[in-house]
Amino acid sequence: MPDDAAAARAAAEEESAFSHSPVAPDVTAAYGDHPDQVIDFHAPRPGPGSTAPGALAPLVVVLHGGAWRARYDRRHLGPFADYLARRGFAVANVEYRRGGDGSAGGPAGRWPDTFDDVAAALDALPALAGEALPQADPRRTVLTGHSAGGHLALWAAARHVLPPDAPWRTDGPAALRGVVALAPIADLQVAEKLEVCAHASLQLLGGPDTFATRRPYADPVLLLPTGIATTLVQGRADLVVPEPVAESYAEAAAKAGEMVGLTLLEDVGHFPLIDPAADACAVVAEEIAQLAW
Protein backbone atom coordinates (compact mmCIF):
# COMPACT_ATOMS: atom_id res chain seq x y z
CA MET A 1 0.00 0.00 0.00
CA PRO A 2 1.28 3.52 -0.75
CA ASP A 3 2.24 5.66 2.20
CA ASP A 4 0.30 8.81 3.01
CA ALA A 5 2.82 11.13 1.34
CA ALA A 6 2.84 9.14 -1.90
CA ALA A 7 -0.95 9.00 -1.97
CA ALA A 8 -1.19 12.74 -1.32
CA ARG A 9 1.24 13.48 -4.15
CA ALA A 10 -0.66 11.24 -6.53
CA ALA A 11 -3.92 13.00 -5.64
CA ALA A 12 -2.34 16.41 -6.21
CA GLU A 13 -0.99 15.30 -9.60
CA GLU A 14 -4.40 14.06 -10.67
CA GLU A 15 -6.04 17.29 -9.51
CA SER A 16 -3.57 19.36 -11.51
CA ALA A 17 -4.04 17.31 -14.68
CA PHE A 18 -7.81 17.73 -14.53
CA SER A 19 -7.75 21.40 -13.50
CA HIS A 20 -7.21 22.88 -16.97
CA SER A 21 -10.01 24.64 -18.81
CA PRO A 22 -11.58 22.65 -21.65
CA VAL A 23 -10.05 23.23 -25.05
CA ALA A 24 -12.36 23.03 -28.04
CA PRO A 25 -10.98 21.33 -31.15
CA ASP A 26 -10.79 23.09 -34.49
CA VAL A 27 -12.79 20.35 -36.20
CA THR A 28 -14.64 17.22 -35.07
CA ALA A 29 -15.26 14.46 -37.61
CA ALA A 30 -17.16 11.18 -37.35
CA TYR A 31 -15.71 7.84 -38.37
CA GLY A 32 -18.96 5.95 -37.66
CA ASP A 33 -22.58 6.34 -36.64
CA HIS A 34 -22.23 5.95 -32.86
CA PRO A 35 -21.87 9.20 -30.87
CA ASP A 36 -18.52 7.99 -29.52
CA GLN A 37 -17.11 7.34 -32.99
CA VAL A 38 -15.57 10.78 -33.47
CA ILE A 39 -12.14 12.39 -33.72
CA ASP A 40 -11.26 15.91 -32.52
CA PHE A 41 -8.67 17.65 -34.67
CA HIS A 42 -6.35 20.39 -33.41
CA ALA A 43 -4.43 22.42 -35.98
CA PRO A 44 -0.78 23.26 -35.30
CA ARG A 45 -0.24 26.63 -33.65
CA PRO A 46 2.68 29.05 -34.00
CA GLY A 47 5.14 28.50 -31.19
CA PRO A 48 8.17 26.46 -30.10
CA GLY A 49 8.84 23.68 -32.57
CA SER A 50 6.45 25.02 -35.18
CA THR A 51 7.04 24.18 -38.81
CA ALA A 52 8.13 26.83 -41.28
CA PRO A 53 5.29 28.79 -42.89
CA GLY A 54 3.64 26.60 -45.52
CA ALA A 55 5.34 23.39 -44.36
CA LEU A 56 3.35 20.37 -43.29
CA ALA A 57 3.30 19.38 -39.62
CA PRO A 58 3.69 15.88 -38.18
CA LEU A 59 0.40 14.25 -37.17
CA VAL A 60 0.07 12.99 -33.59
CA VAL A 61 -2.81 10.59 -32.96
CA VAL A 62 -3.88 10.57 -29.30
CA LEU A 63 -5.85 7.83 -27.50
CA HIS A 64 -7.12 8.78 -24.05
CA GLY A 65 -7.05 6.66 -20.93
CA GLY A 66 -9.48 6.11 -18.11
CA ALA A 67 -9.38 2.32 -17.71
CA TRP A 68 -11.56 1.88 -20.81
CA ARG A 69 -14.49 3.16 -18.72
CA ALA A 70 -17.17 5.57 -19.95
CA ARG A 71 -16.59 7.93 -17.03
CA TYR A 72 -13.53 9.26 -18.88
CA ASP A 73 -13.70 10.54 -22.45
CA ARG A 74 -11.41 12.32 -24.89
CA ARG A 75 -12.20 15.76 -23.49
CA HIS A 76 -9.84 15.36 -20.54
CA LEU A 77 -7.03 15.14 -23.11
CA GLY A 78 -8.09 18.34 -24.85
CA PRO A 79 -5.52 20.45 -22.95
CA PHE A 80 -2.81 17.89 -23.75
CA ALA A 81 -3.80 17.91 -27.43
CA ASP A 82 -3.68 21.70 -27.40
CA TYR A 83 -0.26 21.56 -25.70
CA LEU A 84 1.05 19.44 -28.58
CA ALA A 85 -0.61 21.68 -31.17
CA ARG A 86 1.13 24.71 -29.66
CA ARG A 87 4.41 22.88 -30.22
CA GLY A 88 3.83 22.55 -33.93
CA PHE A 89 2.05 19.20 -34.20
CA ALA A 90 -1.24 18.51 -35.91
CA VAL A 91 -3.26 16.44 -33.43
CA ALA A 92 -6.09 13.91 -33.76
CA ASN A 93 -7.78 13.09 -30.43
CA VAL A 94 -9.74 9.85 -30.89
CA GLU A 95 -12.90 8.83 -29.05
CA TYR A 96 -14.07 5.23 -28.79
CA ARG A 97 -16.70 3.20 -26.98
CA ARG A 98 -15.95 2.32 -23.36
CA GLY A 99 -17.66 0.26 -20.68
CA GLY A 100 -20.28 1.31 -18.15
CA ASP A 101 -22.71 4.19 -17.94
CA GLY A 102 -20.31 6.87 -16.75
CA SER A 103 -20.67 6.14 -13.04
CA ALA A 104 -17.59 5.59 -10.89
CA GLY A 105 -16.31 2.03 -10.86
CA GLY A 106 -18.33 0.83 -13.86
CA PRO A 107 -17.14 -2.06 -16.01
CA ALA A 108 -14.13 -1.51 -18.23
CA GLY A 109 -14.29 -1.74 -22.00
CA ARG A 110 -16.76 -3.22 -24.43
CA TRP A 111 -15.80 -6.35 -26.29
CA PRO A 112 -15.41 -6.18 -29.23
CA ASP A 113 -16.67 -2.59 -29.62
CA THR A 114 -13.67 -0.83 -28.06
CA PHE A 115 -11.31 -2.60 -30.46
CA ASP A 116 -13.70 -2.20 -33.40
CA ASP A 117 -13.68 1.56 -32.84
CA VAL A 118 -9.93 2.02 -32.52
CA ALA A 119 -9.35 -0.03 -35.67
CA ALA A 120 -12.04 1.87 -37.58
CA ALA A 121 -10.72 5.24 -36.40
CA LEU A 122 -7.18 4.48 -37.51
CA ASP A 123 -8.42 3.17 -40.86
CA ALA A 124 -10.51 6.29 -41.45
CA LEU A 125 -7.91 8.72 -40.16
CA PRO A 126 -5.92 9.45 -43.34
CA ALA A 127 -9.00 10.60 -45.25
CA LEU A 128 -10.50 12.48 -42.29
CA ALA A 129 -7.23 14.21 -41.45
CA GLY A 130 -6.75 15.16 -45.09
CA GLU A 131 -10.02 17.07 -44.96
CA ALA A 132 -9.85 18.42 -41.41
CA LEU A 133 -6.14 19.21 -41.19
CA PRO A 134 -4.61 20.03 -44.55
CA GLN A 135 -1.56 21.23 -42.56
CA ALA A 136 -0.84 17.63 -41.44
CA ASP A 137 1.72 15.34 -43.03
CA PRO A 138 0.33 11.78 -42.77
CA ARG A 139 3.76 10.42 -43.71
CA ARG A 140 4.98 11.59 -40.30
CA THR A 141 2.35 10.09 -38.02
CA VAL A 142 3.10 9.21 -34.42
CA LEU A 143 0.60 7.29 -32.30
CA THR A 144 0.43 8.03 -28.59
CA GLY A 145 -1.88 7.15 -25.74
CA HIS A 146 -2.08 7.38 -21.97
CA SER A 147 -2.78 4.49 -19.60
CA ALA A 148 -5.59 2.44 -21.19
CA GLY A 149 -5.04 4.59 -24.26
CA GLY A 150 -1.40 3.56 -24.19
CA HIS A 151 -2.57 -0.05 -24.36
CA LEU A 152 -4.75 0.80 -27.35
CA ALA A 153 -1.91 2.65 -29.08
CA LEU A 154 0.40 -0.35 -28.75
CA TRP A 155 -2.39 -2.65 -29.89
CA ALA A 156 -3.27 -0.50 -32.90
CA ALA A 157 0.35 -0.53 -34.03
CA ALA A 158 0.37 -4.34 -33.82
CA ARG A 159 -2.71 -5.15 -35.91
CA HIS A 160 -0.59 -6.73 -38.65
CA VAL A 161 0.66 -9.37 -36.19
CA LEU A 162 -2.74 -10.25 -34.75
CA PRO A 163 -3.87 -13.87 -35.15
CA PRO A 164 -5.02 -14.60 -38.72
CA ASP A 165 -8.68 -14.91 -37.69
CA ALA A 166 -8.74 -11.53 -35.90
CA PRO A 167 -11.25 -9.17 -37.55
CA TRP A 168 -8.90 -6.21 -36.97
CA ARG A 169 -5.84 -7.74 -38.62
CA THR A 170 -4.22 -5.75 -41.41
CA ASP A 171 -2.08 -7.04 -44.26
CA GLY A 172 0.89 -4.93 -43.29
CA PRO A 173 2.17 -2.56 -40.62
CA ALA A 174 0.55 0.82 -40.14
CA ALA A 175 2.27 3.79 -41.74
CA LEU A 176 3.65 5.15 -38.49
CA ARG A 177 6.90 6.86 -37.56
CA GLY A 178 6.45 5.27 -34.15
CA VAL A 179 4.48 4.88 -30.95
CA VAL A 180 4.93 6.77 -27.68
CA ALA A 181 2.99 4.92 -24.99
CA LEU A 182 2.48 6.84 -21.74
CA ALA A 183 2.18 4.72 -18.58
CA PRO A 184 0.52 2.09 -20.77
CA ILE A 185 -1.38 -0.94 -19.58
CA ALA A 186 0.97 -2.82 -21.86
CA ASP A 187 0.84 -6.30 -20.31
CA LEU A 188 -2.69 -7.28 -19.35
CA GLN A 189 -1.64 -10.29 -17.31
CA VAL A 190 0.81 -8.33 -15.16
CA ALA A 191 -1.76 -5.57 -14.82
CA GLU A 192 -4.32 -8.08 -13.63
CA LYS A 193 -1.93 -9.54 -11.06
CA LEU A 194 -1.37 -6.02 -9.73
CA GLU A 195 -5.13 -5.31 -9.76
CA VAL A 196 -4.58 -2.23 -11.94
CA CYS A 197 -7.65 0.02 -12.05
CA ALA A 198 -9.79 -2.45 -10.10
CA HIS A 199 -9.26 -5.39 -12.46
CA ALA A 200 -9.98 -3.32 -15.57
CA SER A 201 -7.91 -5.66 -17.78
CA LEU A 202 -10.02 -8.63 -16.76
CA GLN A 203 -13.21 -6.71 -17.48
CA LEU A 204 -11.92 -5.46 -20.84
CA LEU A 205 -11.61 -9.04 -22.06
CA GLY A 206 -15.00 -10.10 -20.74
CA GLY A 207 -14.15 -11.65 -17.39
CA PRO A 208 -12.34 -14.76 -16.13
CA ASP A 209 -14.03 -17.13 -18.58
CA THR A 210 -12.67 -15.33 -21.66
CA PHE A 211 -9.54 -13.57 -20.37
CA ALA A 212 -7.08 -16.24 -21.51
CA THR A 213 -8.67 -16.92 -24.88
CA ARG A 214 -8.96 -13.24 -25.82
CA ARG A 215 -5.49 -12.17 -24.68
CA PRO A 216 -3.80 -13.19 -27.98
CA TYR A 217 -6.16 -10.77 -29.76
CA ALA A 218 -5.84 -7.88 -27.32
CA ASP A 219 -2.64 -7.93 -25.24
CA PRO A 220 0.25 -5.90 -26.73
CA VAL A 221 2.86 -7.99 -24.92
CA LEU A 222 1.76 -10.99 -26.99
CA LEU A 223 1.89 -9.05 -30.28
CA LEU A 224 5.61 -8.73 -30.83
CA PRO A 225 7.65 -7.77 -32.71
CA THR A 226 5.80 -5.10 -34.66
CA GLY A 227 8.77 -3.59 -36.45
CA ILE A 228 7.57 -0.11 -35.44
CA ALA A 229 9.75 2.11 -33.28
CA THR A 230 8.24 2.27 -29.80
CA THR A 231 8.98 4.34 -26.72
CA LEU A 232 7.34 3.88 -23.34
CA VAL A 233 7.32 6.80 -20.90
CA GLN A 234 6.68 5.80 -17.31
CA GLY A 235 6.68 7.62 -13.99
CA ARG A 236 8.52 5.64 -11.36
CA ALA A 237 6.10 6.90 -8.68
CA ASP A 238 3.00 5.83 -10.63
CA LEU A 239 0.44 4.30 -8.26
CA VAL A 240 -2.22 3.79 -10.95
CA VAL A 241 -0.27 1.75 -13.51
CA PRO A 242 2.91 0.73 -11.68
CA GLU A 243 6.31 0.57 -13.35
CA PRO A 244 6.44 -3.28 -13.60
CA VAL A 245 3.68 -3.21 -16.26
CA ALA A 246 5.77 -1.12 -18.66
CA GLU A 247 8.95 -2.97 -17.76
CA SER A 248 7.36 -6.31 -18.60
CA TYR A 249 6.42 -5.07 -22.08
CA ALA A 250 9.83 -3.48 -22.70
CA GLU A 251 11.61 -6.68 -21.70
CA ALA A 252 9.41 -8.83 -23.92
CA ALA A 253 9.81 -6.42 -26.83
CA ALA A 254 13.59 -6.37 -26.52
CA LYS A 255 13.71 -10.18 -26.41
CA ALA A 256 11.59 -10.25 -29.58
CA GLY A 257 14.07 -7.99 -31.36
CA GLU A 258 11.88 -4.90 -31.22
CA MET A 259 13.32 -1.38 -31.32
CA VAL A 260 11.93 -0.22 -27.98
CA GLY A 261 12.86 2.47 -25.48
CA LEU A 262 11.75 2.89 -21.88
CA THR A 263 12.03 6.37 -20.38
CA LEU A 264 11.62 6.25 -16.61
CA LEU A 265 10.92 9.53 -14.81
CA GLU A 266 11.90 9.87 -11.16
CA ASP A 267 9.37 11.28 -8.70
CA VAL A 268 6.64 11.32 -11.37
CA GLY A 269 3.28 9.62 -11.03
CA HIS A 270 0.55 8.74 -13.49
CA PHE A 271 -0.97 12.05 -14.54
CA PRO A 272 1.94 14.48 -15.09
CA LEU A 273 2.60 12.79 -18.44
CA ILE A 274 -0.53 14.47 -19.84
CA ASP A 275 -0.53 17.60 -17.66
CA PRO A 276 0.57 20.72 -19.60
CA ALA A 277 1.61 22.28 -16.28
CA ALA A 278 4.04 19.47 -15.48
CA ASP A 279 7.66 19.12 -16.59
CA ALA A 280 6.97 15.51 -17.56
CA CYS A 281 4.68 16.69 -20.33
CA ALA A 282 7.62 18.43 -22.00
CA VAL A 283 9.53 15.13 -21.88
CA VAL A 284 6.61 13.46 -23.65
CA ALA A 285 6.54 16.14 -26.34
CA GLU A 286 10.27 15.66 -26.93
CA GLU A 287 9.88 11.89 -27.23
CA ILE A 288 7.17 12.43 -29.84
CA ALA A 289 9.31 14.98 -31.67
CA GLN A 290 12.25 12.59 -31.86
CA LEU A 291 10.10 10.14 -33.81
CA ALA A 292 8.11 12.65 -35.85
CA TRP A 293 10.65 15.12 -37.17
Mean pLDDT for 131-139 is: 96
Mean pLDDT for 212-231 is: 98
In this predicted structure, what is the pLDDT of residue 49? Answer: 59
Give the dihedral sign, CA 248/251/256/258.
positive
pLDDT higher than 70, residue 111: yes
Please state, rounded to an integer, the average pLDDT across all residues of the chain: 96
Per residue in 41-55, pLDDT tens? 999 997 665 656 678
Which residues on adjacent β-strands are paired with residue 222? none
Per residue in 257-271, pLDDT tens? 998 999 999 999 999
Per residue in 67-89, pLDDT tens? 999 999 999 999 999 999 999 99
Q: How confident is residue 3, by pLDDT bands cut at 50, 70 and 90?
A: confident
Q: What is the spatial distance between Cα 275 and Cα 88, in angstroms, rounded to a whole number?
A: 18
pLDDT higher than 90, residue 170: yes
Q: What is the spatial distance between Cα 208 and Cα 29, in angstroms, rounded to a whole number?
A: 36
Neighbouring C-beta atoms of residue 89, cutoff 10 Å: 31
In this predicted structure, what is the pLDDT of residue 101? Answer: 83
